[in-house]
Amino acid sequence: MLFESNFEPVTFCKIDFLKVGDTLFSVGSTPTSFRVVNAEVLKFFEAFPCYNLGIKRKEKVTLVDSKDLKLGDLLLTMGRFLSPILLKNQQQIDFFRQWGMQNFVISLEQNFQPNQSDQLKLQSKFLSAHHQDRTANEENLHLGKNSALEKKDALLHIQKEGQISKFTSKIRAAQENKDKLEKLQKGITTAEEIKEKGAEILQDLFHKGNLQASYLNGTQEIAQSICQNVQENENSANILALLKDHDDYTFRHSVDVANQFLYVLLKMNAYGEDDLKNLTLGALMHDIGKSRIPSYLLTKPGSLTESEWKLMRMHPIYSAEIMKNLNMLPSQIEIGLKHHVKKNNSGYPEGIDFQGMSESARLSVIADVFQSLVTKRPYKVADTAFSALKKIKIGAEDLYDSKLVEIFIRAFGVFPLGSLIRLSSKQSGFVIDNQKVSLRPVVAVCFSNDDNRLQKPEIIDLSLPDNMELEIITALDHRVFFPKNDALTYFLKI
């Protein structure tokens, strides 16, 4: 049946009837607004049991690049991101241009986005479709059959129910956010235990000198633990790496790289269980060659001299030699040897063909660079995760596998979990969920607009209609707000 609203007739359908060219105003009980622009987007929905889709067809849209964006444009999709965003200021446009994003689908119609009242009506209708204790008249209304209710009465019924649905939806969303956060916090605690144990084992390996294959037992156990925890609590180790600094960089860096490397491999959904474990062990051991580098070079606070740098650049070769002596797999040895190789030959060791590298080795390059950028060192300040991803994006064409860069950024989100961001309200908080809409995540607001720490954080879902006026202004360095290195402690108490 058709539900008449003031923005266009909308029909309700199941996923079977969805086709390329449709504009969705809601999915299930969630109000939204974006266009099914191609078969790939259609397959995304076909992969999930989506029902009660509110759609409008024959929508007028056009495809543009970031240089063609202008104030007032309504972005329906951004590359592969599905997200309706109205461009209200120049800062938003500059953001997309700085990232070099392309393929924006924008609406050519004025007043395209449904207003809040319409969204509530739609939301109410979809929620009520799932209630099992409805009367026959109400069931007929939702299924589009002959209804005993007049059209006017039906609209009034839906409007009234919308107020209740809005309230219950907020309660449900708040509980879901709380459950996700509690699971995340539990995973972080487990990840920290794994990280400490892993760093201890690697440190012991560094000091053993003549390594034997039997010494790998401990690292294999850590690799197994990393696989299990990342699969169960995928973002926990990433947040731990972002929010807690350590002095013994070398050992914990290896654990962090292994975690983030595995996290992206899982998102790619192209590797079997044994491959994931083996590659994670390779990433965990990628810097073992530094055990042959004088320790004072690894912790030197200033720049290395030319001779010192030449020695430091030998560590990937040493890693490959040690891993080979330990009878590790070729795919693992390749990560040890090639994790500093760049597409434009600016990396090391020299003479390695970047295009001839395996996908996993090319991914290890990105994971190693990202973790190095976000880590505080004696000779440099740490980048925010947002800034690190931006630098990697800028270097995608010259330095890295550009396809893997896209996958890496999509896996983490533009604002990764654990990022501290500032909103247009001048409040600041941590990103705690970015799975629904990457550019409009769920934020735990921890600081007021005058940067005072709140006693009780406020959870704000930027993807909800009520919060569309709020924008993310910038990413912040949590070390400024938590100078005692207690950001993780605070996060675990949110």
Eight-state DSSP code of residue 149: S
Residue 133 is predicted with a pLDDT of 35
- Residue 126 CA, chain-centre distance (Å), reads 28
| Residues 336 and 225 sit within 8 Å (Cβ to Cβ) | no
CA atoms of 310 and 219, how far apart (whole Å)? 29
What confidence category does residue 232 fall into, taking pLDDT thresholds of 50, 70 and 90? confident
Residue 160 is predicted with a pLDDT of 47
Residue 493, both tokens: 């108490």
At 111, the amino acid letter reads: N
Helices (H), ranges, 245-375: 249-268, 273-284, 295-298, 306-312, 315-325, 330-338, 359-373
Over residues 9-35, mean pLDDT: 52
Over residues 246-271, mean pLDDT: 87
Residue 166, both tokens: 């809005």
User: 392 by DSSP, 3-state: which?
Assistant: helix
Over residues 136-155, mean pLDDT: 41
Q: How many CB atoms lie within 10 A of CB 407?
A: 18
Eight-state DSSP code of residue 144: T
Eight-state DSSP code of residue 441: -
User: Which of 272-281, 309-318, 377-386, 468-477 has the lowest average pLDDT?
Assistant: 377-386
Domain positions in the chain are: 2-175, 186-412, 420-491
DSSP structure string for 59-97: --EEEE-GGG--TT-EEEEETTEEEEEE--SHHHHHHHH
Instruction: Give the tens place of pLDDT for each residue, 207-229.
Output: 776 667 667 888 999 999 999 98
Eight-state DSSP code of residue 378: T
CA atoms of 29 and 383, how far apart (whole Å)? 38
Q: How many CB atoms lie within 10 A of CB 224?
A: 14
CA distances from 483 to 95, 185, 299, 368, 475 (A): 28, 21, 22, 26, 17
Q: Helix 236-243 vs helix 216-232: angle between axes, to the nearest 10 degrees?
A: 110
From first CA to last CA, the distance across the chain in angstroms is 45
DSSP structure string for 223-283: HHHHHHHHHHSTTHHHHHHHH---S-HHHHHHHHHHHHHHHHHHHHT---HHHHHHHHHHH
Instruction: Give the tens place of pLDDT for each residue, 247-259.
Output: 566 788 999 999 9
What confidence category does residue 369 fall into, taking pLDDT thresholds of 50, 70 and 90? very high
Q: Output the CA torsion 206→378→473→63 (10° steps).
A: -50
Residue 47 is predicted with a pLDDT of 53
| Residues 474 and 421 sit within 8 Å (Cβ to Cβ) | yes
CA atoms of 283 and 263, how far apart (whole Å)? 12
CATH superfamily of 186-412: Hypothetical protein af1432 (1.10.3210.10)
| Residues 284 and 222 sit within 8 Å (Cβ to Cβ) | yes
Q: Which long-range contacts (CB under 8 A, 24 or more apart) does 350-358 make?
A: 358/331, 358/334
User: 189 by DSSP, 3-state: which?
Assistant: helix
| Residues 142 and 149 sit within 8 Å (Cβ to Cβ) | no
Residue 493 is predicted with a pLDDT of 82
Q: How many CB atoms lie within 10 A of CB 330?
A: 10
Q: Which residues pair with 78 in a beta bridge?
A: 81, 104
Q: Is the dihedral of CA 112, 113, 115, 121 positive or negative?
A: positive
Residue 48 is predicted with a pLDDT of 47
Instruction: Give the tens place of pLDDT for each residue, 442-457.
Output: 999 999 999 999 888 9
* pLDDT > 80? residue 399: yes
CB neighbour list of residue 488: distance below 8 Å, 6 or more residues apart: 188, 192, 239, 240, 243, 244
Over residues 264-280, mean pLDDT: 94
Residue 302 is predicted with a pLDDT of 83
Higher pLDDT, 160 or 404: 404
